[in-house]
Structure formats: structure tokens, C-alpha cells
Amino acid sequence: MRAEQPPRPETKRPVRRAVAAADPDLLAPVVSGKHRGVQRSAWLLVADHVMRAGAEMLALGVPVDCVCCGAEDLALCVACERRIRILTRHPFRAEEQAPALMTVDGGIILPVVAAGVYREELSQALLSFKRHGQHQLKSVLAKGLGQGIATAAAGAGNVCLVPVPGSTGAFIKRGFSPVHLLLAGWRQGHAGGGPPVLDVLRKSRRLAALERLPGGQKGLGRGARAARVRGSMTVPSRKRRQVAGRRCIIVDDVLTTGATLAEAARALHLGGAGVAGAVVLAATRPPDSAGSGPPSPAAGGKRPDLGKNK
């Protein structure tokens, strides 16, 4: 007699949800393991595990909190890191909100690609990185900047990247240059690929005198900023042969009025270089666009490269 088989447990079919039009911020966090467990080299995999173990031991001895939400044990928690990646996912053209980069009749003086809008987690992480030495944030911010660089360089031909120099006072206070450090982090992830970085811009004697004046550029209007930075940068004669006849993309961290980028472009032009445009990690929003963000590619926006001006 055939033994009676026990009934099989019922399995529930997964319910399909319409996620095509879902807001990415409402989706469950997805943590990619590509950079963790799929290393081409066994030595890199071992080094990655050692670094993670060291970070966990350091968190036990020196407690840290997320610079954005205050979560314990990480300088940037997984959720906030994901938010920064979302905020820098779609680079956009940002020169129209920078008065120093536009003519009175609406013409473009210097096209600029911004990786994201200077707000929320992106602004908090960047401020913490610049002011408080949170070097743990370099990786995610460098990837965000790399998004903007890739977008800009895609339509600009054979170009090189030129970082904007910082002030001596800021370097002494911080111990590093944020723009140069972010570019170094981006280069590490590209393993020699991408446009070359040429550090040819230097501060002029005028900038050294301006550094002794009280206050910085924060809070200054368009005219005051332009007057303060005019003539503050130069390409030394020994550096001019590196950029003479080359097309350059200027790199900075934040775009406000555009006076700094305009001065950098002026110095490069005098040094014999051709300036294709600029890239920034974040762009502040103009006063009349509170609550707005970058244009969505789904809305029919054009590719925000520097090869084609609006």
C-alpha cells in the first residue's frame, strides 16, 4: 500500500508592486556589495576586510556619529550615504544661477556642470568634510564629483582638469585642500583613467593681501565677491607650458555667484589655455527657486555636457 504523502505547505506568490513611478526615496535601501565582496585581487579583498575591521575597532575606542542624522558608529550612515548618491545621480547645468557667469542679455560666459544641489545631506556632508576634517566622507563625495566630471567631459573632447586653489589661511586651518583631496579620491577610483589633473593655478600677490582682510567671501554679494577675487589667481610662467593650447575644465567644490570660477577662467586664458567649462560638486540655488531641484532627465532635459552651450 502506497504511503500517504504529507500535504505540501502552501507558498505565497510575491505580490508585484508598481514601482515604475515610485519615488526612489521611498524604496527600501539597497546596499551594493560590488565594491566589498567582488574584488579582482585577493589582496584587495583582504585589505578591504582589514580596513572594515579597523573601522569597527576605532568606533569602539573613539565613538563617532553620522554627520547628517547623528546615527552612531559611522561618520556617514548607510541611509545618508544613499541619499547623497541620489542627490548627485543626475548632474545638471548650473551657470544660469551664477550671475558672474552670465551676461546682462542672458549669454553664457562659462558653462558649469554641477553634480548636485547644495542642500540636505549633500551640504551637511560637504560642510563637515571641509570644516571638521571628516576624511571618511571623501569616498562618497569624490564619487559624486566624479559623476559631474564624467558628464562634463563626455561632450568636451580631449580635456584636462584644473582645480581651483584655496587660500593659505584655509589650508593652515584645515591641513588639506578639499578640492585637491576630492580629485585625488576620484583618481584613485579610476586607476589612471579619465582626464588628467593639472594643478597649475596659483594664488597671486593680490590674493595674499586679501587674505589679511577680515572676513571671507561668505555673505558677500555679486559685486563684492567679484571685486575681492579679481586678479587673485595666476598661472606661473613655469606652469604655462603644461596648459598652453589645451582645453581645460575647472574644478571647484561649491558654486555660488560664480566669481571664483570666472577668475580661474581668466587666469587660464592669460596662461594660454582654452577653458571648456567648469565642474562643481554642488551648486547653491538662486533666491527665486526655493524648493526646486535639478531638472529631471525624465522631463525631457538635454544632456548637461559642456560641449554644447544652451
Coil/strand/helix, residue 227 = helix
Instruction: Look at residue 33 in the predicted model and tell me its pLDDT.
Output: 37
Is pLDDT above 70 for 219?
A: no
Q: Give the per-residue pLDDT at 224.
A: 57
Q: What does residue 247 show for φ and ψ, rounded to 5 degrees?
A: -90, 130
- Specify the pLDDT at position 204: 82
Question: By C-alpha distance, which of 235, 193, 76 is closest to 140?
Answer: 76
In the predicted structure, residue 18 carries a pLDDT above the cut 70? no
Find the length of the chain: 310
Average pLDDT (15-19) is: 42
Q: Running DSSP on this structure, what letter comes out for residue 17?
A: -
- Condensed to tens digits (0 to 9), the pLDDT of residues 102-155 reads 998 989 999 999 999 999 999 999 999 988 777 779 999 999 999 999 999 987
The dihedrals phi and psi of 259, each to the nearest 5 degrees, come to -65, -40
Q: CA triplet 153, 251, 123: central angle to 5 degrees?
A: 110
Please, which residues have CB within 8 angstroms of residue 161's CB and are 6 or more apart in sequence?
Answer: 149, 183, 195, 196, 197, 198, 248, 249, 251, 279
Across 25-34, 156-165, 245-254, 265-274, least confident range: 25-34
What stretches of the chain show up as alpha helix (H) in DSSP? 34-37, 42-61, 78-87, 120-131, 138-153, 168-174, 178-190, 205-210, 222-229, 237-243, 259-270
The grid coordinates of residue 255 equal 558654486
The pLDDT score that the predictor gives to residue 229 is 76
Whether residue 298 has pLDDT greater than 50: no
Model confidence at 309, pLDDT cuts 50, 70, 90, reads low
For the residues of 95-137, what is the DSSP string, one character each? Answer: GGG-GGGB-TTS-BSS-EEEEEES-HHHHHHHHHHHHS--GGG
pLDDT at 287 over 70: no
User: What pairing do the DSSP bridges indicate for beta strands 159-163 and 112-117?
Assistant: unpaired
pLDDT of residue 182: 94
Range from 7-11, 88-92, 239-243, 254-258 carrying the lowest mean pLDDT: 7-11
Instruction: Compute CA 86 distance to the chain's CA centroid, rounded to the nearest angstrom.
Output: 12
pLDDT top residue among 296 and 175: 175
Query: What is the arithmetic mean of pLDDT over 242-268?
Result: 95
Which of the two residues, 289 and 81, has the higher pLDDT score?
81
Sequence spans of domains, the chain: 88-299
Through-space distance between the first and last CA atoms of the chain, rounded to whole angstroms: 83
pLDDT at 223 over 80: no
Percentage of residues in the chain with pLDDT exceeding 90? 46
pLDDT of residue 198: 95
- Work out the mean pLDDT of the chain and round it to a whole number: 77
Query: Tens of pLDDT along 140-163?
Result: 999 999 999 999 998 778 899 999
* pLDDT of the residue at 44: 65
For the segment 192-214, the average pLDDT, to the nearest whole number, is 73
CATH class assigned to 88-299:
alpha beta
236-to-138, 233, 239, 241 alpha-carbon distances in Å:
29, 10, 5, 10
Residue with cell 505547505: 9
Residue 308's pLDDT is 60
- Higher per-residue confidence, 156 vs 269: 269
